[in-house]
Structure 1
Amino acid sequence: MPNLGLIELGNAVYREQIKGIVLDTSIFDQYRYGFEFGLLAKLQQFQRSTVAHVVIDVVRHELQRHLVNEAVEHKAHVKNALKPLGDSWGISNQTREIAIAGLFGVSAPK
């Protein structure tokens, strides 16, 4: 199947020329895992249609790995930002740890 623009893709779906959509990791990376907003959120329009969403196991596992790695990285950024902030405001390490636990919980990202 040739690459289609958004309008052409919409027309092909409407004419039922497309039976499935396959998503690759690069699409998720490109749109920064924006499942609630943006282009990835627009996939919801196919929820009640005959168009199938296909996510290959390898892609699913790769997506999970990317999301977990990003979650760990973002948590580290927050912790690193709280240290000087806490120092300048006189907030104890224990209070910062409570705040971090409140934000992230105690379990690792899944």
Structure 2
Amino acid sequence: MVDEVKETTVHELIASPFVGAYLVLRPGSPRGLKIPRDKYLQLGRKAADDVCPAWLVEATRRCWNLDISGRGVNDAVVVRTESPYGYGRASYGLNLGCNYDREHCYSTSA
């Protein structure tokens, strides 16, 4: 019997709201892009067959030397939805080890 291998799409980029900002990140890279909310919303509205917008192609080339020109948005970017609770999906502390010293997480003011 042959085991079936489930194919998964690995996206090059993740666009996500995070603590009042909007970021484009690349898995495995410490670098990122901070984008305005309207550009984040633009990515979320793109149809499956729409190509990546020119501003994202250029920014991605400058930041990671990555060419996504001609690629579909849904192929290249995972667009994370905004949380109704205002939380990010993950944080630097969760990904790289929490130091329990993040002001927005552990505010000492009463």
- TM-score for the superposition, normalised by structure 2: 0.27
Query: Does 1 or 2 have the higher relative contact order (CA < 8 Å, sep 6+)?
Result: 2
Structure holding more helix per residue: 1
Q: Which has the larger radius of gyration?
A: 1
Structure holding more strand per residue: 2
